[in-house]
Amino acid sequence: MLSIRKALIAAGLAFAIWEAIDIFTIDVPAVAAVFAALFLACTAWFWRRDSKRAAAALLVLFAFEAAVAPTLKHVMTVTKIADFSLGVAGVLVALAVLAPPMRRWAIK
């Protein structure tokens, strides 16, 4: 079973790869390079330290990617949907990591 931690790492790596590929396909490749580096750095930071700050940084990056997905130019609709869906999934996983753990209340 995929844990929440592994899901956040997988989503961060997926967007890092996506942005690295976008370097060769968009009008301003420097922007894609910066975002690829940010996703990779934050994912590595979270992987090494299990940091809440890294998860929060990934949350912001995922939210930005989901927000700009509908405005992508010269891409197919399925690409916009995939970008938006992966961004929303990343936001949800990051929120699950940041949420305090639920405690089970035992009836005594």
pLDDT tens, residue by residue, 93-106: 999 999 987 666 65
Q: Considering the entire predicted model, what is its pTM? A: 0.89
> pLDDT tens digits for 13-47?
999 999 999 999 888 999 999 999 999 999 999 99
Round to the nearest angstrom and report the end-to-end CA distance of the chain. Answer: 32
In a domain, 107, yes or no: no
**Domain residues for 54?**
4-98
Looking up tokens 């301003």 gives 28
In a domain, 55, yes or no: yes
Counting the structural domains of the chain, the total is: 1
In a domain, 104, yes or no: no
In a domain, 8, yes or no: yes
Tokens of 85: 């869906």
Tokens of 32: 């894609």
